[in-house]
Chains A and B, each alone.
Chain A
Amino acid sequence: MSGDSIIRFENVTQAYEGAGNVLNNVSFELERGKFYTLLGPSGCGKTTILRLIAGFIKPTKGDIYIEGQIVNNSPANERQVNTVFQDYALFPHLNVFENVAFGLRIKKLKKAEIERRVLEALEFVNLHGYEKRDISEMSGGQRQRVAIARAIVNDPEVILLDEPLSALDLKLRTEMQYELRELQQRLGKTFIFVTHDQEEALAMSDEIFVMKSGEIQQSGTPLDIYDEPINRFVADFIGESNIVDGVMIDDYRVRFANQEFECVDQGLNKNEKVEIVIRPEDLHISPLERGKITVTVDSQLFRGVHYEISTVDEVGNEWLVHSTKKVEVGSRIGLDFEPEAIHVMRLNESEEAFDARLEAYGAPGHEK
């Protein structure tokens, strides 16, 4: 793996004056040519990681490697990395062409070459014919594309994207998600994308790093993270989930909501306290007598693609159900689910231990 590693963080800690640690002993390795997403709530340190890679700040402790070289002290302008900024940071005094040409002009390339590459980059982001426009004449989506063109025209190995879609409306955002993903695959460059939007992360990434309070909580493919969240935070952050307390009775047996169920988890201690995650779409409404648990319907919201039904079981646990079928508020219904739908989370388990446990019974979530 290390042969094709492009960026490596070794025990990186970042502290700001009077703000404590923004990053806490973070280590990870990124492979060339993949689409990575740093996902987390605001203030979790994801943008700090991006700024450390770009070279805008120096790590307080630890080492950062790009292409195997320590870059702790090399300034931003000496790194083979380009950024697409959150508010695009396009130069308002330059037109579209000059914005994109900025990096090439600094490299003092020949005029003809600059022109060729700028037009090519603009073509790449579907902005052919916009060269002469002023930045103020461009819409949000177009500015976004100029910012991307300005980054890719320099042919960097790594492109950093700092919440670049957050200022766009929903429809445009979805469109840009497709475009960015496609762009990354066409270019074959490493993309590191920062967002707090879990849907965006799930849709675009090869690998997601879920972050909280300056630490990486879990990393893995979107499916891994969605299906086997390591803890309550990740489960909650990635999609909607029902999280209830439970007890591991034995291998493949877990107890929650006052009942015992068959599950696919093993290797935990007997009678260990655990948390159970069941995704709302894994819960199926069934007739009372055939349901595994019995619940009372509390409220129901129509969400377009499905109904979001909030229910309460007999011991007071809340269960959120996504269903295309409508139910009656106040009625009692049964909920059915597969053993595979039950995800068992140990309390305070580290990522290494978690991965090792999953490895042990050879059941990564997506290989159901």
Chain B
Amino acid sequence: MKNNSTNPFYLIPYYLWIVLFVISPIALVVYYSFFDISGNLTFDNYKNFFSSVYLRLTLSSFWYAFLITLISLLVAYPTAYWLTKTKNKQLWLLLIIIPSWINLLLKAYAFIGIFGLYGPANNLIASIGSERLQILFTDFSFIFVAVYIFIPFMVLPIFNSLDRINPALIDASRDLGASSWTTFRRVIFPLAINGVKAGIQVVFIPALSLFVITRLIAGNKVITLGTAIEQQFLVTQNWGMGSTIAVFLILFMIIIMMVTGEKGGTVNGKIK
């Protein structure tokens, strides 16, 4: 019976990790958020966050994250659905996931090449007789690249939840008189909703704090919460304000996780 409780000794590395790399950084961020640029204790950073500049920044950050998530979802859902119907599911899935293993910076630089004024995209446009366009440093290129990067993270959870649906449920729905569309609406979609939620979580939250792509692809025309934090720390050297934005970012993440979190009950069509 003593074996029931694991030796607390084994938990030490885990706790150590949590304290050093999760709790203490958050504590530090919160701590710094109460100091102004000259090191005085103040609530001004929080007051400033609610000024129009930062609110607009937050709003635009949310707007871009929303667009990126929505487009990823629109691309990923049909892809995941189609994947569950193919014969070599695992192979196709692997092909979709592989790009996510490549470093983000490399992918961003690749797109600079592709979208550049004399890159393949513009060569194509020129070949059909049109003028070369400024693709890079636009909202379009930013959202395109962000969606490209996030798609695998959206496909994976949706694929998993679709794939786990008992096929007999689809037969049952058809048997009870539902057309394929009604079956999708009333059975498949509600049963795979947790996959969609998980996908939204893993795309929306990182999309809020993107800063590498905003820099390289959007040329700092798009400023997200992530870019703002980076600028406060590295350019303005206002650690206090940077920390305050970070605190809000963390709060937003917590709220999103709560909203999209699972509520228990059933998971992916299997009865618990």
User: Please, what's the 1-or-0 string for A152-182, where 1 marks a CB less than 8 Å from any CB in chain B?
Assistant: 0010000000000000000000000000000
Q: A85-B171, A87-B168 are in contact. Are A102 and B176 (CB under 8 A)?
A: yes
Q: Which of A54, A55, A102, A135 has the most chain B CB within a 10 Å cutoff?
A: A102
In terms of DSSP, what is the predominant structure of the interface of chain A? mixed
Is A107's beta carbon under 8 Å from chain B? yes
A77 to B181, CA, bound (A): 12
> Would B169 and A107 count as touching, CB distance under 8 A?
no
Is B177's beta carbon under 8 Å from chain A? yes
Size of the chain A interface, CB-CB below 8 angstroms: 27
A102 to B187, CA, bound (A): 10
A257 to B82, CA, bound (A): 65
Measured CB to CB, the closest approach of chain B to A36, in angstroms, equals 18
A242 to B94, CA, bound (A): 57
> Would B265 and A91 count as touching, CB distance under 8 A?
no
Interface residues of A in 131-166 (CB under 8 A from B): 134-136, 150, 154
Is B120's beta carbon under 8 Å from chain A? no
**Which residues of A lie under 8 Å from residue B177 when comparing CB positions?**
77-78, 103, 106-107, 154
CB nearest to A86 among chain B residues: B168
Q: For B175, give its contact among A83, A91, A92, A134 (CB under 8 Å).
A: A83
Q: A85-B171, A154-B176 are in contact. Are A135 and B271 (CB under 8 A)?
A: yes
A154 to B191, CA, bound (A): 24
Size of the chain B interface, CB-CB below 8 angstroms: 23
Measured CB to CB, the closest approach of chain B to A145, in angstroms, equals 15
> Would B272 and A106 count as touching, CB distance under 8 A?
no
Is A327's beta carbon under 8 Å from chain B? no
Q: For B182, give its contact among A55, A83, A87, A106 (CB under 8 Å).
A: A106
A90 to B164, CA, bound (A): 15
Q: A76-B175, A77-B178, A82-B175 are in contact. Are A102 and B186 (CB under 8 A)?
A: yes
**Which residues of B lie under 8 Å from residue A77 when comparing CB positions?**
174-179
CB nearest to B272 among chain A residues: A136
User: Please, what's the 1-or-0 string for B239-272, where 1 marks a CB less than 8 Å from any CB in chain A?
Assistant: 0000000000000000000000000011001111
CB nearest to A93 among chain B residues: B190
> Would B178 and A85 count as touching, CB distance under 8 A?
no
Is B173's beta carbon under 8 Å from chain A? yes
CB nearest to A143 among chain B residues: B271
> Would B176 and A136 count as touching, CB distance under 8 A?
no
**Which residues of A lie under 8 Å from residue B265 when comparing CB positions?**
134, 136
Q: For B169, give its contact among A78, A91, A154 (CB under 8 Å).
A: A91
User: Please, what's the 1-or-0 string for B150-191, where 1 marks a CB less than 8 Å from any CB in chain A?
Assistant: 000000000000000010110111111111001000110011
Q: Which of A92, A103, A107 has the most chain B CB within a 10 Å cutoff?
A: A92
A154 to B173, CA, bound (A): 13
Q: For B172, give its contact among A91, A93, A136 (CB under 8 Å).
A: A91
CB nearest to B193 among chain A residues: A93
Is A75's beta carbon under 8 Å from chain B? yes
**Which residues of B lie under 8 Å from residue A76 when comparing CB positions?**
171, 174-175
**Which residues of A lie under 8 Å from residue B270 when comparing CB positions?**
92
Measured CB to CB, the closest approach of chain A to B160, in angstroms, equals 16
> Would A82 and B266 count as touching, CB distance under 8 A?
no
**Which residues of A lie under 8 Å from residue B174 when comparing CB positions?**
55-56, 75-77
Is A360's beta carbon under 8 Å from chain B? no
**Which residues of B lie under 8 Å from residue A83 when comparing CB positions?**
171-172, 175
> Would A93 and B182 count as touching, CB distance under 8 A?
no
Q: For B166, give its contact among A54, A81, A87 (CB under 8 Å).
A: A87
**Which residues of B lie under 8 Å from residue A363 when comparing CB positions?**
none
Measured CB to CB, the closest approach of chain B to A54, in angstroms, equals 6
Is A301's beta carbon under 8 Å from chain B? no
> Would B191 and A85 count as touching, CB distance under 8 A?
no
Is A89's beta carbon under 8 Å from chain B? yes
A90 to B173, CA, bound (A): 9
A85 to B171, CA, bound (A): 9
A92 to B173, CA, bound (A): 12
A214 to B271, CA, bound (A): 34
Measured CB to CB, the closest approach of chain A to B63, in angstroms, equals 32
CB nearest to B169 among chain A residues: A89
15 further contact pairs, Cβ within 8 A, besides A90-B172, A92-B266, A102-B186: A55-B175, A56-B171, A76-B171, A77-B175, A77-B178, A77-B179, A78-B177, A83-B172, A85-B168, A87-B168, A107-B177, A135-B271, A136-B265, A136-B266, A136-B272
Pairs of residues from A and B, 6 with the lowest C-beta to C-beta distance, nearest first:
A103-B176, A89-B168, A89-B172, A76-B174, A92-B266, A136-B271
18 CB-based A-B contacts, threshold 8 Å? A56-B171, A56-B175, A76-B171, A77-B178, A77-B179, A78-B177, A82-B176, A83-B172, A86-B168, A87-B166, A89-B172, A91-B172, A93-B266, A103-B176, A106-B176, A106-B177, A106-B178, A134-B265
